[in-house]
Amino acid sequence: MVDLRAHGLTPTGSVHARLSAAMLVEHALRRGEGVLAESGAFVAATGKYTGRSPRDKYLVREPSVEKAVAWGSANQPMDSAAFERILGKVRAHLSSRDLFVFDGWACAAPEYRLPVRVIAEKAWHALFAQCLLLRARTPDDFAGFQPALTVLCAADLMMEPARDGTRSEVCIGLSLERGQVVIAGTNYAGEIKKSVFTYLNYLMPQREVFPMHCSANLGKDGAAALLFGLSGTGKTTLSADPGRRLIGDDEHGWSNDGIFNFEGGCYAKTIRLSPKGEPQIYNALRFGAVLENVVLDPATRLPQFDDDSLTENTRGAYPLDHIPDAEPTGRGGHPRHLLFLTCDAFGVLPPISKLSPEQAMYHFLSGYTAKVAGTEAGVRDPEATFSTCFAAPFLPLPAYRYAEMLREKLLRHQAQVWLVNTGWTGGSFGQGQRVPLAHTRRLVSAVLGGELAEAPFSPDPVFRVLVPEYCPGVPGALLEPRSTWSNATDYDDKARRLAQLFRDNFKKFEGQTEAAVQSAGPA
């Protein structure tokens, strides 16, 4: 049914292609790749690597992309000869294994749909791909299927740095020119998802589509909203709102016709997940879903979501249709509101504030947040970081290319941008507390429901963003972060320190941005 010779594979084992979720689960259980939770979700442990390995990701330096790519630490170059050697090892390894093939698509908008093939030695990796990408509904959907992007997953193949020229035993190599990804040395399934996203971030701007690291949902009136942010800032949690229809939780495109999901599923952090706090996500983790590194009770097989003994970065992958009333088309109109989510470990940013267009550009290019424990190898405590466009590890093109696309969309569609701090209040990390989720939900709801449209706003004296003076259902003191600290002098010191970090980081954009954007940052 699926000929793998076009991918340089000559399998000696069995090839299992285009299987249902039930059949993939049966194979994974038979092969000892994991176990079932009480809910029916498949549970896998990823071993040594429980998060992405950004320092082991490479883009192939090829003639057609040489001048377009922003080479650097996020886009480490690999020469074509080295990639060919590694590709040969991956092909030889996979050809000696039983293989599981998922065929599906990225991009919910039909005019931009991208055929994707994932070839893996693990049945549960194919199941993960089935959760996250768009799936065929009938066998007829595969008529004429030719993958434009192929992902080869050789999880058990360890690289040899001295011989292969890699930094470690892990290699994520992406050929933009050929539409080919190799993943070796890691079982962490998130590498599959983010490799596809990286490729789309290269391809979509060529088709006049703004690619975004954001979640999206629709109100009862059909108005769309976007929530930008890095892992751990709350995109998945806040977008799964029972009062709104979910379009997607992480990756979208904004075309001249509106927004559309890149994916067909969600990939949520599950640490401390509860049925009361996040009921939609909790109930989505049933048969057909995948849990990564979640500890189960040995007797009941109930997930112990508070247990971080394997990692803080416990994850759940599930199809979008596991969320009640999710938008079945994966599409929406032009958004009225954009929310930039940041997990402020300094505890000095307001929980919500309104941005001017120039401030929106400034904060989009800055992409301030804190890396949350577990999202990357070696990160245990939150670390202040600036991730350009809230997606720096996944952007092959220069950052300002994406920022200009944002500016054009904001001006054309008169959308309002807000900065939302889901991090700390009453003190910095280790002293204060996280902004209560219930209050963040209320603030977001007030924005999207228009309740803050007539509210008075005052400028923050340090960050100069506009802060609402009140919001129904939220304590007034919470809106003014300085008043939540027991020692105002400590607040002032932390605020000045963060402001300086903003200014230092933005120096790299001085030659690329106009004066109005450069002066839109902290005082």
Dist CA 38 CA 298 (whole Å): 11
Cα angle 518-519-522, degrees, rounded to a multiple of 5: 110
Segment 111-121 shows an average pLDDT of 98
Confidence of residue 376 (pLDDT cuts 50, 70, 90): low
Annotated catalytic, 235? yes
Instruction: Name the active-site residue from 89, 213, 363, 464.
Output: 213
For 233-262, the pLDDT digits (tens) are: 889 899 988 899 999 999 999 999 999 999
Contact (Cβ atoms closer than 8 angstroms) between residue 201 and residue 395: yes
Report whether pLDDT(56) > 60.
yes
Cα 48 → chain centroid: 21
Instruction: Name the active-site residue from 52, 122, 269, 439.
Output: 52
52, 238, 246, 288, 320 from 281: Cα distances, Å: 22, 11, 12, 14, 10
Torsion of CA 228, 229, 234, 238, to 10 degrees: 0
For 42-53, the pLDDT digits (tens) are: 999 999 999 999
Instruction: Name the active-site residue from 56, 103, 249, 250.
Output: 250
Q: Which pLDDT belongs to residue 454?
A: 86
User: Which residues 6+ apart lie within 8 Å of 454 measured at CB?
Assistant: none
Q: Which range is least confidently modeled, 243-252, 263-272, 507-516?
A: 507-516
Segment 206-234 shows an average pLDDT of 94
Report whether pLDDT(482) > 60.
yes
Instruction: Name the active-site residue from 7, 27, 135, 194.
Output: 194
Residue labelled with tokens 């038979």: 30
Annotated catalytic, 236? yes
Q: Which domains does the chain have, with CATH numbers?
A: 5-34+47-207 (3.40.449.10), 210-265+329-518 (3.90.228.20)
40, 245, 260, 423 from 437: Cα distances, Å: 28, 19, 27, 10
For 390-410, the pLDDT digits (tens) are: 999 999 999 999 999 999 999
User: Which residues 6+ apart lie within 8 Å of 28 measured at CB?
Assistant: 34, 42, 44, 122, 123, 124, 127
For 136-177, the pLDDT digits (tens) are: 999 899 999 999 999 999 999 999 999 999 999 999 999 999
Dist CA 180 CA 174 (whole Å): 6
Confidence of residue 510 (pLDDT cuts 50, 70, 90): confident
Segment 187-208 shows an average pLDDT of 98
Confidence of residue 88 (pLDDT cuts 50, 70, 90): very high
Full DSSP string of 178-244? TTEEEEES---THHHHHHHHHHHHHHGGGGT-EEEEEEEEE-TT--EEEEE--TTSSHHHHH--TTS
Report whether pLDDT(453) > 70.
yes
Residue 79 phi, psi (nearest 5):
-75, 155
Q: Which pLDDT belongs to residue 231?
A: 78
Report whether pLDDT(68) > 90.
yes
Tokens of 384: 């202040």
457, 496, 499 from 463: Cα distances, Å: 14, 9, 7
Segment 411-422 shows an average pLDDT of 97
Q: Which pLDDT belongs to residue 373?
A: 53
| pTM, entire model | 0.94
Query: Which among 332, 297, 396, 363 has a CA at the least distance from the CA of 518?
Result: 363
Segment 34-60 shows an average pLDDT of 97
Residue 181 phi, psi (nearest 5):
-125, 135
Full DSSP string of 278-343? SHHHHHH-STT-EEES--B-TTT--B-TT--SS-S--EEEEEGGGSTT--TT-EE---SEEEEEE-
Confidence of residue 371 (pLDDT cuts 50, 70, 90): low
Annotated catalytic, 46? no
Contact (Cβ atoms closer than 8 angstroms) between residue 87 and residue 231: no
Annotated catalytic, 168? no
What's the first-to-final CA gap in the chain, in angstroms? Answer: 63
Annotated catalytic, 231? yes
Report whether pLDDT(230) > 90.
no
Instruction: Name the active-site residue from 27, 244, 315, 331.
Output: 315
Q: Which pLDDT belongs to residue 205?
A: 98
Half-sphere exposure of 121 (CA within 13 A, CB side): 23
Give the H/E segment covering residue 431: none
Confidence of residue 36 (pLDDT cuts 50, 70, 90): very high
Q: Which pLDDT belongs to residue 490?
A: 96
Confidence of residue 352 (pLDDT cuts 50, 70, 90): very high
Report whether pLDDT(413) > 80.
yes
Instruction: Name the active-site residue from 231, 255, 385, 513.
Output: 231
Residues linked to residue 180 through DSSP beta bridges, in sequence order: 150, 175
Mean pLDDT of the chain: 95
Instruction: Name the active-site residue from 236, 255, 369, 445.
Output: 236
